């Protein structure tokens, strides 16, 4: 999603704070639209798959979405809580976006997907089970924080509205009301 925002293929998306801060630090001109909390992520596997993240250690099994993501660091926290080396799964990560990970998990091309809530719910409907989460990695006091960002660029007159991630609804949710455009700044 970060690449899609940077290339102009996507205008609005949400992230955990880490990817946003990394991109912002490198000079990406993004604006925060909203800060959110209470976001959890779930490590999903097939019903007959591993029962714990520890079952990935010493095997050829692979996990997504990839290194240096919030999910990667949550996996390290789960390993640490279990008294294991936090780098025990370092070679197990594959860099797949969530839609591709879902498609790879079903036919057994991928063994675990640390999914966002929307993809975890889809995977659950397909018979997958949860074996870990952000909340489990950080304890009950965990209140994950994320940001909804948009790219900063001007739009030509008549240009289409911002492109959203395919999992976002294309129409406003019930109760949403349109407001007039705010007045220009002085």
Q: Indicate if 31 and 110 belong to the same structural domain.
A: no
Contact at 8 Å (CB) between 93 and 64? yes
Q: Indicate if 33 and 75 belong to the same structural domain.
A: no
Q: Indicate if 53 and 130 belong to the same structural domain.
A: yes
Q: Indicate if 33 and 59 belong to the same structural domain.
A: no
The whole-number pLDDT of residue 26 equals 72
Which residues on neighbouring strands pair with residue 30, listed in sequence order? 151
Q: Indicate if 7 and 67 belong to the same structural domain.
A: no
Q: Indicate if 19 and 71 belong to the same structural domain.
A: no
Among all chains, which residue has been given the structure tokens 């294991």? 84
Q: Which residue range forms the structural domain that includes residue 56?
A: 41-138
What is the pTM assigned to this prediction? 0.64
Q: Indicate if 77 and 127 belong to the same structural domain.
A: yes
The whole-number pLDDT of residue 160 equals 58
Kindly state whether residue 181 falls inside one of the protein's structural domains: no
The whole-number pLDDT of residue 33 equals 66
Q: Indicate if 74 and 121 belong to the same structural domain.
A: yes
Contact at 8 Å (CB) between 96 and 68? no
The whole-number pLDDT of residue 86 equals 94
Q: Indicate if 132 and 49 belong to the same structural domain.
A: yes
Number of domains present in the structure of the chain: 2
Q: Indicate if 30 and 48 belong to the same structural domain.
A: no
Q: Mean pLDDT by 10-residue block, N- to C-terminus, for the chain (186 residues)? A: 66 66 70 67 94 96 87 89 94 90 92 90 94 82 56 54 45 36 43
Q: Indicate if 29 and 46 belong to the same structural domain.
A: no
Contact at 8 Å (CB) between 56 and 89? yes
Distance, in Å, from the CA atom of 9 to the CA atom of 32, rounded to the nearest integer, reads 18
The whole-number pLDDT of residue 180 equals 36
Cα Rg for the chain, rounded, in angstroms?
Answer: 18
The whole-number pLDDT of residue 113 equals 96
Contact at 8 Å (CB) between 134 and 40? yes
Q: Return the H-helix or E-strand segment holding 42.
A: strand 41-45
């Amino acid at each position: 999603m970060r690449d899609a925002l940077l290339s102009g293929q996507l205008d609005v998306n949400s992230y955990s704070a880490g990817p946003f801060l990394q991109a912002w630090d490198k000079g990406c001109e993004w604006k925060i639209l909203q800060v959110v909390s209470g976001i959890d992520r779930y490590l999903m596997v097939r019903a007959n798959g591993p029962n714990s993240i520890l079952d990935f250690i010493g095997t050829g099994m692979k996990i997504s979405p990839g290194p240096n993501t919030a999910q990667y660091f949550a996996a390290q926290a789960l390993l640490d809580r279990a008294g294991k080396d936090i780098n025990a799964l370092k070679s197990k990560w594959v860099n797949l976006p969530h839609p591709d990970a879902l498609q790879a998990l079903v036919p057994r091309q991928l063994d675990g997907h640390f999914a966002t809530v929307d993809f975890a719910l889809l995977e659950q409907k397909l018979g997958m089970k949860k074996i870990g989460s952000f909340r489990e990695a950080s304890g009950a006091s965990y209140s994950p924080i994320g940001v909804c960002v948009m790219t900063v660029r001007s739009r030509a007159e008549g240009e289409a509205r911002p492109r959203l991630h395919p999992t976002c609804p294309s129409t406003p949710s019930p109760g949403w009301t349109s407001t007039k455009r705010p007045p220009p700044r002085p």
